[in-house]
Amino acid sequence: MRRRIPVMLAGVGLLAVALGPVRADASDGGLAFVHVEANVGGASGGHSALRVGDRVYHYQLGDERLLDLDRVDWDVFRFRYNVLENRPLKLAHLDVDARTQRTVADRFTSVLLRQRRERAEMAELGRDAALLEATLGRRSGVPTPAAGLFDPGAEPPPGALALAERLRSALGADRIALPEAIESTPGAAQRYREALALGFAVRMLGDGRPLARDAWVAAPGAALDAPERASLRALQRGLEDAMARLLAVRARPDRAQPLLVALARHRAAERSLATGRLHLVDPFPAEAPSLGRREVRKRRAELSAVADFLDERVRGERSARLNGEAPHEHDLARLEALAARAREYRRGAEEDRPVREPGDVLVPRRNRDLAVPAPAPPGASARVAALREEHDALRAARETHWHYDLFGRSGENCVTQLGHTVNEALGDPQGPLGGRVDPDAWLRFWPLMFFRDVEEQLAVSRVEALPAHRLRLRADLDERDGRLTTRLRESNTLTSAVYTPREPDGSFLFFTDDLLLPRPLFGAVNLLWATGDGMLGLFTAPFDRGARLVRAGKGALFSVPELFFVNIRKGTFDAATLPASRGAD
């Protein structure tokens, strides 16, 4: 009879178990090229990254097929690729001095900031165009970050007018006059938008307007205790100081957003103190990317498991950060994001509704279209067209630099771009890495070939191999229980205790990532298994919308390489299928 490891998402325990002992050396200095082996899903040909200290830099395929640089903590990277995606990792460590490490990290940081700046400039141009379109009556207003946190038509909540009174002198000092017209000088549209946003913020504060109905989240956990109440009061005092400063000191042109965010947090703290339950600002934009109902239904168990985990984290963060003193802003931001995501997943799992799934949102940016009182400036239509052209030119420039173009003239992908960035950082071909890898050489866009070059061309001090998560779990089982029956049980997807079949993995019966000579034979069985599943899928298609057919097709596709001794598919995990204990049965 099949026995399965119980799934227990018990707070950070799961993460600690999943990452295991490798977490201990995460603070290693130096550089390491990381080779991520193949598996089904994205990057089925493998992936490459560079670890610098505790951080990992890697390019990913983003919008419009552009290569976007990503920077994550090593633990996060490893959890995603080595645990969830169950891919073996190899690290080629290079012992370099601190100066070299900093030079490389600075170069990647510079690229990261540049890419973000490019995207931000395009977004600003889009908002400038929206401003002018609003004056032409083509849209209702101009999208303004954080303005959507408030309801400008609702009555003041308790304490709001008292706050306005306390800040009356600062408010009076900065009653800015909105320009009557939008000038045609460079940057005028942006300055007008900033003034419009600041005017809105001043009104929300001065008129005591409340948070919008859906702009806050009630955090899980017990009623507020004394230290939490003290923290919230200290937070409010700090926010009042910050608001007074933002109103009085005009050095920051975009200060409307921090002002609105500070006010929103003040309102949330006020509500918390009044109700005795912790309320936080919901930082997710209403228009965030989302998982649709169908996807939510398929991933209900996963969403529920992650929500359990995040709830636990919120409780932990509450006791750690609201300890009697004001929390640091980034800790508060993290608490808000955790609580919002937990609620989002919980609602999706329990109420069968779409789930907002934004990336790393920390500071609330909920947009609202603000009406534009200025008349259309002369030549507004032509200016909109010019802004669109400028926007397109920026996009074209981005494509020139970052386009994924594997089979084109530049031949760039995430691997070659990584190599180029390292080389740009260090310059000297025989520099501190002891050699040089040429990302433009034949087949070096292939992660495996690139990593081989790293091993052969650079002064690699050691190569560290991290087996895939399932194989680590299985090795633990072997160590504790070397019985043949256990090994047989873990050889296939039907009886394995450490692996639960997932739809993205496709239909297959035998694992082949830990086999060599029998791989073609097992691959043939997997192919037959997927074919049979596909035939069954023909009958079930009207009822499951072809899901079984798709799974079978994927299973057959990734069985073919196994006939040639090549393993790609290794199985994957998610929060609902991740065993909480290493190898217990």
Partner 1 sequence: MHLDSRTPLAFAALAALLLSSACQSISDSVTSPSRWIADSSTALGDSSEASADSSNAFSKSISGSSSPEDETPAESAYRNDVRVAAREWGSAGGSTDDFARELGRISERHGISDWQGQSASFRGVAEGLREAGLPETQVTARIEALAGGQAPAL
- Of 147-186, binders to partner 1 (CB under 8 A) are none
Cα–Cα distances (Å) from 277 to 126, 151, 158, 363, 478, in that order, read 40, 22, 16, 22, 49
Residue 579 touching partner 1 (CB under 8 A) = no
Q: Are the C-beta atoms of 39 and 47 separated by less than 8 Å?
A: no
Shortest distance (Å) from residue 110 CB to partner 1: 6
Q: What angle do CA 290, 61, 37 make, to 5 degrees?
A: 105
CA dihedral 175, 178, 184, 185 (to 10 degrees): 0
Residue 327 touching partner 1 (CB under 8 A) = yes
Two tokens, residue 571? 């199985």
Shortest distance (Å) from residue 559 CB to partner 1: 12
Any idea which residue has 């002064």 for tokens?
459
The count of residues interacting with partner 1 (CB under 8 A) is 113
Residue 509 touching partner 1 (CB under 8 A) = no
Helix axes 256-275, 188-206, angle to 10 degrees: 20
Q: Residue 72 or residue 218: which is nearer to partner 1 going by CB? A: 72
Two tokens, residue 25? 């050396």
Residue 487 touching partner 1 (CB under 8 A) = no
Q: Residue 93 or residue 321: which is nearer to partner 1 going by CB? A: 321
Residue 291 touching partner 1 (CB under 8 A) = yes
Residue 258 touching partner 1 (CB under 8 A) = yes
Identify the residue among 97, 106, 183, 392 touching partner 1 (CB under 8 A): 106
First to last CA, the chain: 12
Site string for partner 1, 203-242 (x = CB under 8 A): ----------------------------x--x---x--xx
242-279: burial string, b at 16+ Cβ within 10 Å, e else: bbbebbeeeeeeebbbbbbbbbbbbbbbbbbbeeeebb
Shortest distance (Å) from residue 443 CB to partner 1: 9
Q: Residue 3 or residue 114: which is nearer to partner 1 going by CB? A: 114
Residue 413 touching partner 1 (CB under 8 A) = yes
Shortest distance (Å) from residue 1 CB to partner 1: 28
Residue 498 touching partner 1 (CB under 8 A) = no
Identify the residue among 326, 458, 497, 527 touching partner 1 (CB under 8 A): 326
Q: What CA–CA distance (Å, rounded) separates 332 from 265?
A: 9
Two tokens, residue 469? 């998560």
Q: Are the C-beta atoms of 215 and 146 separated by less than 8 Å?
A: no
Residue 52 touching partner 1 (CB under 8 A) = no
Identify the residue among 345, 508, 510, 529 touching partner 1 (CB under 8 A): 345
Q: Are the C-beta atoms of 501 and 569 separated by less than 8 Å?
A: no
Residue 328 touching partner 1 (CB under 8 A) = yes
Helix axes 414-426, 98-135, angle to 10 degrees: 120
Q: Supply the DSSP string of 214-274, one letter for each residue.
A: TSEEEPSSSS--HHHHHHHHHHHHHHHHHHHHHHH----TTTHHHHHHHHHHHHHHHHHHH
Stretch that binds partner 1, among 174-182, 444-452, 454-462, 533-541 (CB under 8 A): 444-452
3-class SS of residue 181? coil
Residue 44 touching partner 1 (CB under 8 A) = yes
Identify the residue among 80, 233, 347, 403 touching partner 1 (CB under 8 A): 80
Residue 299 touching partner 1 (CB under 8 A) = yes
Q: Residue 231 or residue 507: which is nearer to partner 1 going by CB? A: 231
Q: Residue 14 or residue 212: which is nearer to partner 1 going by CB? A: 14
Residue 574 touching partner 1 (CB under 8 A) = yes
Residue 73 touching partner 1 (CB under 8 A) = yes
Residue 567 touching partner 1 (CB under 8 A) = yes
Q: Residue 163 or residue 310: which is nearer to partner 1 going by CB? A: 310
Stretch that binds partner 1, among 112-120, 204-212, 424-432, 485-493 (CB under 8 A): 112-120
DSSP structural state of residue 66: B
